[in-house]
Each structure stands twice: as structure tokens, then as C-alpha cells.
Amino acid sequence: MGNSMTNFTTRASAGAALVTGLGLMGVAAAAPASAEVTGSLEYTCQEVGQNIQFTDPWTVDLTLDVPEAVEQGETIPASGITATVTPGADATQTMQGLGVTSLEGTAETTYTFGEGGTARDVALTVPKTDVPATGTVSVDATGESTEETAPAEDVNVPITAGDFTAKLENQDGFVFQIECTAPEDATVGTVAVGDAEPPAEEPEEPAEPEEPAEPSDPPADDTEEPPSGDTEEPPAGDTGSGDDAGAGSGDAAEPEVPGVVQTDGVATGSALTSPTAIALGGLLLAGAGASTVVVARRKAAQH
């Protein structure tokens, strides 16, 4: 009895597992391929409340939670939309210069499903986001798309973004009124219907090689040139003939008397305390001493 009961329980459990597995397979087969359609666009924006036109583009990264491939006539349910908005450099510097530390608010945008489709309105919410004192600023705006029906033909259906507006309040209650214009080609992505082949992704353009840096100018020569006029000159009247030449010639020409050298009142560290000025003063004193010797010899000769 015990073995029969055990066998029955085992067979029942195996049967239940088989049924459950088949059910899950059926659900998986019926569910459409779930994926995201993403794209990055550059918008031209301005702050209309203060009439500020920004030059640098704003980057908007869009994500739609819709399948990338569906069957003809299939219903595409409403799904989430996320727009990550990064203001341009000049707008970021303006906000940081004004001391903005946080932003929150609402935004409104549109999108179209298919060529020439009707524009769908989307209301977005921007949760409170901290604004750093330096670096880039990004805010996430979230909303929900509209339910769509896939066309009855094999075709790639483009999803195109439209312009958007936003009202963002800072920590002090001031509201920035932003208006942004979508680029001419604002295709976010496509949904492949039926046997349509999704469009091939365009390869990224290779980055341009950096130009070699030009050699820098050689460093300037910091060697100081000696100031002009520092060359030492022999004392006036010193001809190298000695004292005997003066005694034998009678009345020799008197040496030039140096001008008056002012030494009082010279501040320490001034130009006159430099080695060049000291050497010049020594030469003047030597010349004065030579004049004294000549005058004494004249007086002795007269007596």
C-alpha cells in the first residue's frame, strides 16, 4: 500500500510538471519579442521665461519599451517612455552660476508611429534631481506611450520624436520654462512588422586622427646680462710711467680730481651697494691718493 501510494504521488507530480512546462511554452510562444527601441537626439533649446537662447545642443536619450518586431495587425500595448535630458554646456554653466542645486517638474512632448502618423501627446514627470556644482547635469523624464496597431503589411515602422517643453523648478521655487526643437531627422528607432528586415545600423564614423603636437618654443635664456657701464677703468692720470717721470719733467700735468661722491644717505640694498658701485668707489679713492702724492713732491722741489 505504501509503495503504491508513493508511485501514484510520483506520477502525479511528474504529470503536473509536464502540464506546467507546456503551459509556459505556450505563453512564451504567444508573447511578442519584448525589447526596447532607443535613440539619441540633439535638440535646440531656450529658456523662454528669461528669453535666453542657448547655443550648445541638449542631448535627449529616448527609450520606448516596445517590441522591435511584431506580426501584421498585432496590437502593440501602451508602454513606458523614458527621456534622459542633458542640457548643453552653456545652459549647465548658467544654472550652476545661479546656484541651482536641484530641479524637478513636468514636461510635454509628442511622437509619431509610422510615416505620416498622427502625433501622440505624452505627459512626462521629472523627479527631484540634484544638480552638481560642477560637471554635467542630467534629468530623467518618464511617461507612457499610446497603444498602437501594427499595419497589415511587412514594413519597418519608424518612431519619430517631436518637440518638447518643460517646467523645471529649482530649490528656491523659481521655474525655468524650457522649449526645445527636435532635429530635422528625429527618428528614434523602428519596429519591424512581419517579415520585414530591420534596417541595418549605420556604422560609426571613425574618429579623426589627432594631429601631432607642434614642438614648443625653446625656453627663454634666463641668464642676466651685466648692466652697462660696469667695466673697470684705470684711475685717471695713471699712465704707467711711475713717479720718476713726474719728477724729471718739472711741472707735470695735474691729475683730474674726481667729482664729489655722495656716500651719506645711501639705503642698504640700493644700486650703490652693489659690487659694481663699491668697485667704482675704490677707483675714485685711489685717484685722489695719487693726486696727494704729486702735490707733496712739488712742494718739496720748490724748497
pLDDT band at 62 (very low <50, low <70, confident <90, very high): very high
Give the residue with greater pLDDT, 64 vs 285.
64
Give the number of C-alpha atoms closer than 13 A to the C-alpha of residue 130, restricted to the C-beta side: 4
**The residue type at 253:** A
pLDDT the model gives residue 36: 82
Residues 6+ apart with CB under 8 A from 113: 120, 146, 148, 157, 159
Span 33-193: which CATH code?
A: 2.60.40.2270
Mean pLDDT of 24-49: 71
Task: Give 137-159 pLDDT, tens digit per residue.
Answer: 999 999 999 999 999 999 999 99
Average pLDDT of the chain is: 73
pLDDT the model gives residue 73: 95
Give the residue with greater pLDDT, 296 vs 124.
124
Task: Give 227-250 pLDDT, tens digit per residue.
Answer: 555 555 555 555 444 444 444 444
pLDDT the model gives residue 220: 58
Backbone angles phi, psi at 128, to 5 degrees: -60, 125
CA distance 185 to 23: 44
The ranges assigned to domains in the chain are 33-193, 242-302
pLDDT the model gives residue 199: 77
CA distance 49 to 47: 6
CB 190 within 8 A of CB 37: yes
**The residue type at 72:** Q
